[in-house]
Homo-oligomer: A and B are copies of this chain.
Amino acid sequence: MIQNLLDRALAQARPAVELGEPASYIPELGKVDKRQLGVCLYTLEGGRYSAGDTRVRFSIQSISKVISLAAALERRGFDTVFQQVGMEPSGDAFNSLVRLETSESHPSNPMINSGAIAVDSYLAPVISFEEMLAFTRALCLDREISLDERVYRSEMSNISRNRAIAYLLENKGVIQSDVEQTLDFYVKMCSLSVTAESLAGLGLVLASGGVDPNTGARLLKAETARVVKTIMLTCGMYNDSGQFAVRVGIPSKSGVGGGILSVVDRRMGIGIFGPALNQKGNSVAGEKLLEYLSAQLDLHIFAEQK
C-alpha cells in the first residue's frame, strides 16, 4: 500500500520538474539532468520502499550541514557549538552575510552557510575528513558514499562568497581555527555523493532517536537527534522553512544538489532526489512529493490522526 502511494506520489509530482532548474552557481552542479526524480521511504518496522531514481548519486550539498551539526554536538557538545552560533531561523537567504553585520555578530543558525562554516571550524581541528566520511557512511547506512572530486574542485573554484563569509567570521571572532582548512573541510562535506536511499537511511536513524534500527546500535545521543530534528524543522528548508512546516510539517533539510532529507519522528525516514530547484533552492518536485505524502499518510507533526 505504501509502495502504491509512493508510485502515485511520484506520478503526481513529476510534472513539477519542468518548473525548476538545477543549481547553476557551481558549474558542475548545472550539468545534471533536471528531469530525474526519486523517493525512498524506510520505516522503523523495517519497510523499504522506493520509486524513481533512488540510486542515482548526486551531490549532498547543504544536507551535509545536518551531519556536521550532529558530529559537532557529539564531539564538542551543545554548549560549545551554540556559544557563537544561534538557533534562530533568519528569514534570510542561505548565503547571506548581512545579519552578521547588523543585529547580530554570530551566525543565526547552523543550517545557513555562515553557521555551517562556524560549526565546521569546531570540527576541523578535532576530526579528519576521513573520519567524517566514515561517520557519514554509518549514519546514512550507505558504505558507498564518497567524495565527488569534480564537484569538490568546481566548488573550490567558485568559493569567493563562502571565503568572504569565513573571513568575516574570523573577523568577528567566531572562527578561531584556520580559515582555509575550515573551508576545505566544509567544501569536502558538501561534495559527498549520496543517493535518495542514503538520505532515507539517515532519516531513519534520526527518526529512531539516533539508533540504527537494523542493528540496534546507537549512532547518536538521543539529545543530538532531538536538537538536529528541531533545527531541521525550523531552519531546514532555507527561507521557506516556515511555510514548509505549515504545509508539510516534516523536519527536512534540502540541498542544492536536489536532495531532501526528511524525518517522520518515530515512524520513518524519507530521502528524495529531484534536482530541479525553485527560487529558494529547494527541489520543486520534492516539495510536492512530501506535501502529498504528508497529507495521505498524516505525517504532519500536528496531524489530526496518525
Contacts and interface: CB of A to CB of B under 8 A. Distances in A.
A121 B101 CA distance: 24
A300 B226 contact: yes
Interface residues of A, number: 53
A168 interface: yes
Interface in A75-99: 86-92, 96-99
A89 B92 contact: no
- The copy count of this chain in the complex is 4
A222 B302 CA distance: 10
A167 B171 contact: no
Interface in A205-255: 209, 222, 225-227, 229-231, 233-235, 239-243, 245-246, 249, 251
A167 B164 contact: yes
Interface string A156-173: 000011011111101100
A168 B109 CA distance: 21
A302 B230 contact: yes
A301 interface: yes
A59 B243 CA distance: 30
Which of A89, A99, A231 is the most central at the interface, judged by chain B CB atoms within 10 Å of its CB?
A: A89
Contacts of A92: 91, 103
Interface in A276-293: none
A234 B242 contact: yes
A106 to B, nearest CB: 12
Contacts of A102: 98, 102
B88 A242 contact: yes
Contacts of A170: 160, 164
Contacts of A198: none
Given A89-B234, A102-B102, A226 B96 contact: no
Question: In the complex, which of the residues A88, A90, A165, A301 has the most CB atoms of chain B within 10 Å of its own CB atom?
Answer: A88
A108 interface: yes
Contacts of A120: none
Given A226-B249, A265-B301, 9 more contacts: A87-B242, A89-B89, A164-B166, A164-B170, A226-B304, A229-B302, A230-B300, A231-B246, A233-B233
Nearest 4 CB-CB pairings of A with B: A164-B167, A164-B168, A88-B242, A160-B171
Interface of A: 86-92, 96-99, 101-103, 108-109, 160-161, 163-168, 170-171, 179, 209, 222, 225-227, 229-231, 233-235, 239-243, 245-246, 249, 251, 265, 300-304
6 contacts: A89-B241, A163-B163, A163-B167, A230-B302, A231-B246, A234-B242
